Structure 1
Amino acid sequence: MPHLPDFEAWAIFAKVAERGSFSAAAEELGLAKTTVSKAVTRLEERMRTTLLHRTTRQLSLTESGRASLDRALRILNDGEAVEAEILEEAAIPRGLIRLACTGAFGVRTLAPLIPEFLKRYPEIELDLQITDTKIDLIADGFDGVIKVGQLADSSMRASRLFSHRLPLVGAPALFDRYGRPEQPEDILKMPIMVYTHVREAQEWRFFHPVHGERLVMVQGSIRMNNGLAAVPVLLEGLAITLQPEVYIWNELQEGRLEEVLKEWTLVPVPVHLVTPPGRARPARLRVLLEFLRENFSKQPWAHGIEH
């Protein structure tokens, strides 16, 4: 297999020819003069010809040097143009964001923020996919995925947006019928709803500052895979469940739902923006992350926001 062209050496040669000296080229490129000289020598050895006549006072192109200069300058200019374009893209919020998000969170929490984001950054295009199917960030060609819940170990880059509580809730009328639980085990006497789209859905692990951890294994008479769809069932007093606070904040404030076992808490649920691995995100993703954190920080159900 043939070796790749020595693009660096050709670009250095073009800069030397353009500036008329090794010293001037080295200064502009931010390289040592010896590095510039060795690159041109390396190129000449590879081409088996002399590209530059060198004297103590003057530098001039040979016939081979003149013949190859136009293409060498094209390599240099194209490289500079690519870098300038990428740097500009990294600095200015523009271009397409392909973003995925789970159904309930996307509809209830993310979608209302989209109009303001697009008005603030008119040069950004958005392709938002709200789906509960598993997303492969790289294979499916997404720039980012908003994930609710604990993350599996991954090489992807994850930025925490916020965390929300999982209070144990039900309608006041339900607790009037069954009584308000005093211990986690008391809930087993009540109708329970579980979520089938979360891991270990039937293992409810409570924590108390004095009594420690308590694991309750529940058997849900009602099963759902969407947090928003569960709200009407809860309001009708048909079951209790561990419900993301983000979906029922208003209902709790209005008293239509009631939180019980307040001293027994569960591990808060984190929400992350996950993006492909890499040291730097383009500006369009950076401003999206900042925008989401800014807006979530105003919400009473959002905790642990990083700035």
Structure 2
Amino acid sequence: MDQLSALRALRRVVELGSFTAAGAALGVSHSIISRQIGQLESQLGAQLLNRTTRRFALTAAGQEYYLASRDILDALDAADRAVAQHQAQPSGSLRINAPMAFGALELAAWLPHFTRQYPHIHLDLVCNDRIVDLIDDGFDVALRLARGLPDSTLVARQLASSRTLAVASPAYLARHGHPATPEELLQHNCLRYTLADKPDAWSFTDAAGATHKVAVRGSLQANTSVALREAAVGGMGIASVAAFIVCDALRSGHLVEVLPGYTMRPRSLYALYPQSRQLSPKVRVFVDFAVQHYQERHWD
């Protein structure tokens, strides 16, 4: 027996005054209404309605049960309306994970525009340079910079691509010289990003399309690109970082590009979120906003 349907049938019978009217309101025959209430009475082991050929009346147990079931149905209807309103207007807490540098340099620039457009979404931004488990750590969406993603059950939507550059300060290059080829990096202090797939192996492509792989070494490795940028600005060595992290330092002259005739493999920006038949409206509008943002501007 579908108890919820039986409760709705009982309510309609009481409020409309007949089995026929209740059936018409619910789109079923009066015999189905009668059977549902009979099954409900059998399950409860109590008579809810006193029936005659022309009329019916609630028993004492029926009156008490009707009032309680009416409250239950009203609460369910209210819950349905709340969900419908939530779907129509994205709201609630949106928990986001992002790399440290990206959160500080990029998200901080466009999140205010997002919150003005969606004022009922409350953001919980967690920035770190480690790979988190979205499900176990309770994140709705993650933004990641990577040269490739491992196979996963997560949905991955590419948002943009950022060049990777080798950079150093003018002071460092004045002391140690400008490397003319990637192989000359073996003579330099290279600052390495420990969370890269191969921190000690830098790969370059020349103008002819040939690949140059160099096993670099140096006196500093770090798990955040911001630390590498600041160390490079301070003259410590040559760093390999995403262009958006060093664009301001390049413009100001605190850093210069090393080996400008060679390219390094870019990093792509992805939005990751769990698969779901009904994607949460707050996740959907956040990802769509990010896609639109990076379509309208040329990153780095």
1:107 to 2:108 alignment: no
Specify every segment of 5 or more residues in structure 1 that has no aligned partner in the other structure, as ranges: 303-307
Kindly provide the CA deviation profile for residues 101-137 of structure 1, in whole angstroms up to 9, marking residues without a partner as x: 3322211211233333333333333333333465443
Q: Which residue of 2 aligns with 1:250?
A: 248
State the aligned residue count.
292
Residue identity in the other structure for 2:193: Y
CA change 1:97–1:34 in 2 (3 A) is: farther
Residue identity in the other structure for 2:119: P
CA change 1:58–1:172 in 2 (3 A) is: farther
CA change 1:211–1:135 in 2 (3 A) is: closer
CA change 1:142–1:13 in 2 (3 A) is: farther
Q: Map of 1:255-266 to 2, 5 A cutoff?
A: 256-260=255-259, 262-266=261-265
**Structure 1 length as normaliser, TM-score?**
0.74
* Matched-pair identity in %: 26
Specify every segment of 5 or more residues in structure 2 that has no aligned partner in the other structure, as ranges: none
- Cα distance in 1 for partners of 2:51, 2:23 equals 10
For the Cα contact (< 8 Å) 1:157–1:278, is it kept in 2? no
Residue identity in the other structure for 1:127: D
- Cα distance in 2 for partners of 1:72, 1:300 equals 59
Residue identity in the other structure for 1:181: A
Kindly provide the CA deviation profile for residues 162-204 of structure 1, in whole angstroms up to 9, marking residues without a partner as x: 232212333466567544434x434323321111233322233
Q: Map of 1:1-307 to 2, 5 A cutoff?
A: 6-15=3-12, 17-18=14-15, 20-26=21-27, 40=37, 42-48=39-45, 63=59, 65-132=62-129, 135-149=132-146, 150-171=148-169, 177-182=176-181, 184-206=182-204, 211=209, 213-253=211-251, 256-260=255-259, 262-266=261-265, 268-301=266-299
Kindly provide the CA deviation profile for residues 272-303 of structure 1, in whole angstroms up to 9, marking residues without a partner as x: 3334443334433333333333333344326x
**1:261 offset after TM fit, Å?**
5.4
For the Cα contact (< 8 Å) 2:179–2:258, is it kept in 1? no
3-state SS of 2:264 partner = coil
CA change 1:258–1:208 in 2 (3 A) is: closer
Kindly provide the CA deviation profile for residues 200-246 of structure 1, in whole angstroms up to 9, marking residues without a partner as x: 22233445686565543322332122212222333355422321011
CA change 1:252–1:78 in 2 (3 A) is: same
Q: Which moved more, 1:124-133 or 1:189-198?
A: 124-133
- Cα distance in 2 for partners of 1:186, 1:117 equals 45
Kindly provide the CA deviation profile for residues 34-67 of structure 1, in whole angstroms up to 9, marking residues without a partner as x: 9877755653443356657899x98856536544
**1:83 offset after TM fit, Å?**
1.5
CA change 1:67–1:46 in 2 (3 A) is: same
Q: Give structure 1 regions of 4+ aligned residues with deviation exceeding 6 angstroms.
A: 32-38, 52-55
Pairwise CA RMSD: 3.9
CA change 1:299–1:165 in 2 (3 A) is: same
Structure of larger gyration radius:
2
3-state SS of 1:181 partner = coil
For the Cα contact (< 8 Å) 2:192–2:199, is it kept in 1? yes
CA change 1:246–1:284 in 2 (3 A) is: same
- Cα distance in 1 for partners of 2:128, 2:78 equals 38
CA change 1:61–1:131 in 2 (3 A) is: farther
For the Cα contact (< 8 Å) 1:148–1:272, is it kept in 2? yes
- Cα distance in 2 for partners of 1:257, 1:75 equals 69
CA change 1:139–1:66 in 2 (3 A) is: same
3-state SS of 1:269 partner = strand
**1:25 offset after TM fit, Å?**
0.6
Residue identity in the other structure for 2:201: E
